[in-house]
Amino acid sequence: MSKEQEKFVIFGNPVAHSKSPQMQNAGFESLDYNGIYEKHQLLDGNTIKETFLQNNYEGANITVPHKEFAYKNADEVRGLAQRIKAVNTYINENGKVIAYNTDAPGFLKAIESFGKVKSVLLLGAGGTAKAIALALQENNIEVTVLNRSEGKLEFFKNEGINCYSWEDFEKEVKEKEFDLIVNSTSAGLKDEYLPCDKELLQTLFKSAKYAFDCVYGKITPFLALAKENGLEIKDGEDMLLYQGVLAFEYFTKQKVDEKVSEAMRKGLKKE
């Protein structure tokens, strides 16, 4: 008797815009894996575990605003996610909900194309910044966080990461040089803002080599300015792809090759 089709899902609110189903389903198709991946708009993050189990999902991705709820509700959290305190992947292991964060290794894989990076200035201090900062720290890459406001810096201070608000930064580290500047703020996502002061960025770009923006599928004002200043630039497509590929490997319990990840990339880019 053939095995029943396995169900997978992305939880978010809103979730209609998510490209994860087309990416994950392209992976299943390329591997001839009997799985189906759907969207689920989840209103109350506190119900995430029961919703996951009651619907017999084998695996899930979790997006805004539920990553912290998903962390708190899991039966077991594995890997760096224990420190990030937010997860984007659930796996059903014999009725137990196991949680991972694949945004962090997805980011590291995405910046591999830049070659060796020694020091990073990370703009923003939201959920994505937490994953990126800890991933860099774990890989012995020096990381400094710069955020518009003070409020979200506590997490980074507690993890021993250098962090500043716009107010303190200029006087403390204006002279410092970074190889890579990362925009993990939402500036540029739906607007045309830079993630920090233009003059400051131009000074930083003089000594930097690379610029990465977590925003996917567009040249943000941040990337445009970096390019103008001669930096090698990259948007968030690879990060989105690799977090998805790593989740896919947990879902299907196997390592996948380039053929599958390229099929997933094609799926992601389908209109």
Task: For the sheet with 35-41, list strands across it.
Answer: 35-41, 6-12, 57-62, 89-93, 96-100, 76-77
Binding footprint of ligand NDP, residue count (CB under 6 A): 27
The 10 Å Cβ neighbour count of residue 72 is 15
- Binding mask 147-176 vs ligand NDP (x if CB under 6 A, - otherwise)? xxx-xx------------------------
Helix (H, G, I), strand (E, B) or coil at 243: helix
Residue 52's H or E segment, with its range, is helix 48-54
- Binding mask 96-125 vs ligand NDP (x if CB under 6 A, - otherwise)? -------x--------------------xx
For ligand NDP, which residue has the nearest CB?
126
Which residue in 9, 187, 208, 231 binds ligand NDP (CB under 6 A)? 187
Establish if 133 lies at the interface with ligand NDP (CB under 6 A): no
DSSP states of 163-208: EEEHHHHHHHHTT---SEEEE-SSTTTSS---SS-HHHHHHHHHH-
Q: How many residues does the chain have?
A: 271
Which amino acid is residue 212, in one-letter code?
F
Establish if 64 lies at the interface with ligand NDP (CB under 6 A): yes
Q: Which is nearer to ligand NDP, 35 or 221 (CB)?
A: 221
67 is catalytic: yes
User: Closest distance between ligand NDP and the C-beta of residue 187, in Å?
Assistant: 4
User: Closest distance between ligand NDP and the C-beta of residue 1, in Å?
Assistant: 39
Establish if 215 lies at the interface with ligand NDP (CB under 6 A): yes
User: Closest distance between ligand NDP and the C-beta of residue 149, in Å?
Assistant: 3
Task: Please provide the distance, in angstroms rounded to a whole number, between the alpha carbons at the two ends of the chain.
Answer: 37
Please pick, among 7, 19, 39, 67, the residue that the annotation labels catalytic.
67
Span from 134-142, 170-178, 188-196, 198-206 in contact with ligand NDP (CB under 6 A): 188-196
With beta carbons less than 8 A apart as the criterion, state whether 167 and 159 touch: no
With beta carbons less than 8 A apart as the criterion, state whether 23 and 244 touch: yes
Establish if 267 lies at the interface with ligand NDP (CB under 6 A): no
Strand bridging mode 89-93 / 57-62: antiparallel
Summarize as ranges the residues that interact with ligand NDP (CB under 6 A).
Answer: 64, 103, 124-129, 147-149, 151-152, 184-187, 189, 193, 195, 214-216, 236, 239-240, 243
Catalytic residues: 67
